[in-house]
Amino acid sequence: MDPEPSTGNFPLHFSVQFALRDRYLPSRQQLRAWASKALLGPVQAVLRIVDEDEGLSLNQGFRSRAYATNVLTFPYGEDDSGALCGDIALCWPIVCRESAAQGKTLKAHCAHLVVHGMLHLQGLDHIKASEAAEMEALETQILSQMGFPNPYHVND
């Protein structure tokens, strides 16, 4: 059975760290609201908004990739209460560039990547085509419930 997104039925312990300043950054409350819509079970997470240098360092250090990427997720397993624990790093300059290049609003792209990171933290992946189809469908459903367009729709 495919997982269904929560409507707030699971606890979320969520903190946000801003490693940079930008007037276009979403608020902590907005980031938490987006994360809470992607809950499939209880989660304890830290979302860190990073600059490109930190994004590069994280991607190189943990994935041996010599570039910054939009979102990285670091799941750590469960705590004593059964909540899934982990960190999510969102590279703000990459998010900004991608939203412009893809013709998406910054808000919609950021919401998508927060949802994407939360789903990764909860064990979903997109390595195999079947996994990608499931994850993309769930992301699209969650984002639609929040009033955002399909993030996989290619804009002309």
Given a cut of 90, whether residue 77 has pLDDT beyond it is yes
Average pLDDT over residues 62-75: 96
Structural domains of the chain, ranges and CATH numbers in brackets: 12-145 (3.40.390.30)
pLDDT score recorded for residue 6: 44
What contacts 149, CB < 8 A, 6 or more positions away?
A: 104, 108, 143
Roughly what angle, to the nearest 10 degrees, separates helices 106-121 and 28-36? 50
109-121 pLDDT, tens per residue? 999 999 999 999 9
Please, are residues 14 and 47 in contact by the beta-carbon 8 Å criterion? yes
Please, are residues 78 and 96 in contact by the beta-carbon 8 Å criterion? no
27-68 pLDDT, tens per residue? 999 999 999 999 999 999 999 999 999 999 999 999 999 999
Per-residue pLDDT band at 2 (split at 50, 70, 90):
very low
86-96 pLDDT, tens per residue? 999 999 999 99
Per-residue pLDDT band at 144 (split at 50, 70, 90):
very high
pLDDT more than 90, % of the chain = 87
Per-residue pLDDT band at 156 (split at 50, 70, 90):
very low
State the average pLDDT for the chain: 92
Q: How far apart are CA 144 and CA 135, in angstroms?
A: 14
Paired strand residues for 54 = none
Question: Does this model's pTM top 0.85?
Answer: yes
What contacts 95, CB < 8 A, 6 or more positions away?
A: 70, 71, 106, 109, 110, 113
